[in-house]
Chain A
């Protein structure tokens, strides 16, 4: 088997190529540990691109989660704090309030943000903390073995709902964007499936707005990424993408839920 590093072009050949895409400067060179078909790596790359684009890396403090992205602090060049499970927005609040000049974002999964950390999430939103949240919703506890999450769909087979999620026993999925929409402290709230180049461009537009929410001190900015977990869903990567587009968005409709930002030139044009 040939490793990727063996396939690097010779230096002489390299001169003939133009670099059209590179790893964001705000990311380290460390190889990502995520499973094939998972969109964490893609979302990490978008976060890195945003830190580059807004030139934020030197003033950023990233609050990393417990779960699949527990090693997020190894992939970004910014200062980072590993919060305990669910407490990212409480830690982020402390960092931001102690030095409001810092850009503070949390990167959290659905088990982290919507289960053990739901109280922190709701109250940070209710307080209108000027923070940016990147919320990766894959509908399961990916790292710990595929248990049911608050976001698992009705009928979804997980290790703790082997016959499918039965609402009579296990309740119904929590829509985080729907839930937070009622809170006045939220400045920006949007959901996007990570299933196509078009959607990735939409995600970038949403992320810019969630970052602006903090920079302009308007309140909480949150982007929910509908992600995949091919390993725990027992699906091939392409089938997992299809599942998001056909099933997941039926329960978690994409789009902007709250936008209390002043319109910017780029958002007016719908730029990417």
Chain B
């Protein structure tokens, strides 16, 4: 985390792959999504963000790293590919281009790679002892974070006529999609909203969605981390309930479907929406 903070402060592009496991501490090696806060809310000290990409299948595990490098170069920031232990070890078909596109090398006139013919030296650092100077540097970072808003990516599935929606990323979205299809077969108008960029978070799209549906179930393999961003984005426009498991437990899709049925029946899930389980 110290390193990540330095990278952000020095405005260095890089791609970090975090295949999330159960925690905290040594935890276990079972699938989890409990590093959402760590990835999306900074993690190290200082006011900084990383772009966070959340693949949900092997195809995106293959496709998103290229995008990650491109975004890292464009915004000079760390990009985190936030996968989980299921995605990290699963086998499934994926389309691979016959010819891998040539690497686009972004010019890096700022890099400390030896002056050669350059008149001035380049220094890569994150130390600004003068407070005004550091404030100005922070303003540059914040400006980049504002520009990143244009990189918001998400997938909307069966949401055109939906009354209710799952909001989930990564492997949880796969479970939520199975639950969605089950609920559709039962006649419920349910869809899936899947953020692909967790930072920047698709808050505008989610806000618009919340104004035309009755309720959402946020499904995560944690105690409700993305849930906070969903609540901020929806701002009480619709009911938001949570269904999650901790410690590496992968719930069956039926558990998510059941949570949605309860929401549809307008019965509260639990006394506390932050509760870890929805059984």
- List A residues at the B interface (Cβ < 8 Å): 57-61, 64, 70-71, 73, 76-82, 84, 87, 95, 99, 101-103
Contacts and interface: CB of A to CB of B under 8 A. Distances in A.
A164 B122 CA distance: 43
Given A58-B117, A82-B125, 15 more contacts: A58-B115, A59-B115, A61-B112, A73-B125, A79-B111, A79-B122, A80-B124, A80-B125, A81-B123, A82-B10, A82-B123, A82-B124, A95-B112, A99-B114, A102-B114
Contact of A61 (B3, B6, B10, B114): B114
Contacts of A71: 127
B126 interface: yes
A253 B159 CA distance: 75
A73 B127 CA distance: 11
Question: For the side of the interface on B, what is the size category?
Answer: 10 to 19
A211 B121 CA distance: 21
B124 A84 contact: no
Given A58-B116, A84-B6, A79 B127 contact: no
Contacts of A81: 112, 123-125
A79 B6 contact: no
Nearest to B121: A79
Contacts of A87: 3
- Say whether chain B's binding surface is mostly helix, strand, loop, or mixed: loop
B29 to A, nearest CB: 24
A58 B116 CA distance: 5
A102 B114 CA distance: 7
B2 interface: yes
Q: Is the interface of A mostly helix, strand, loop or mixed?
A: mixed
A42 B7 CA distance: 31
B115 A57 contact: yes
Contact of A79 (B3, B117, B123): B123
12 contacts: A59-B115, A61-B114, A70-B127, A77-B115, A79-B112, A79-B122, A80-B112, A80-B123, A80-B125, A82-B10, A82-B127, A102-B113
Given A58-B115, A59-B114, A60-B114, A78 B121 contact: yes
A91 to B, nearest CB: 9
Given A70-B127, A87-B3, A80 B113 contact: no
Contact of B2 (A59, A76, A80, A84): A84
Interface in B120-141: 121-127
Contacts of B122: 79-80
A60 B115 CA distance: 7
A111 B113 CA distance: 27
Contacts of A59: 114-116
Contact of A84 (B3, B112, B114, B115): B3
A214 B113 CA distance: 17
Q: Which of B2, B6, B117, B125 has the most CB of A within 10 A?
A: B125
The 8 closest A-B pairs by CB, nearest first: A82-B125, A79-B112, A81-B124, A59-B114, A102-B114, A73-B123, A80-B123, A58-B115
A269 B122 CA distance: 38
B125 A58 contact: no
Contacts of A76: 121
Nearest to B125: A82
Contacts of B127: 70-71, 82
A216 to B, nearest CB: 19
Contacts of B10: 82
B113 A79 contact: yes
A70 B146 CA distance: 32
Interface string B91-126: 000000000000000000001111111000111111
Contact of A99 (B3, B6, B113, B115): B113
Given A84-B6, A87-B3, A78 B115 contact: yes
Contacts of A77: 115, 121
B116 to A, nearest CB: 6
A84 B4 CA distance: 10
B114 A79 contact: yes
Contacts of A70: 127
A142 to B, nearest CB: 17
A103 B125 CA distance: 19
Nearest to B3: A84
Contacts of B112: 61, 79-81, 95
A57 B124 CA distance: 17
A78 B125 CA distance: 14
Contacts of B117: 58
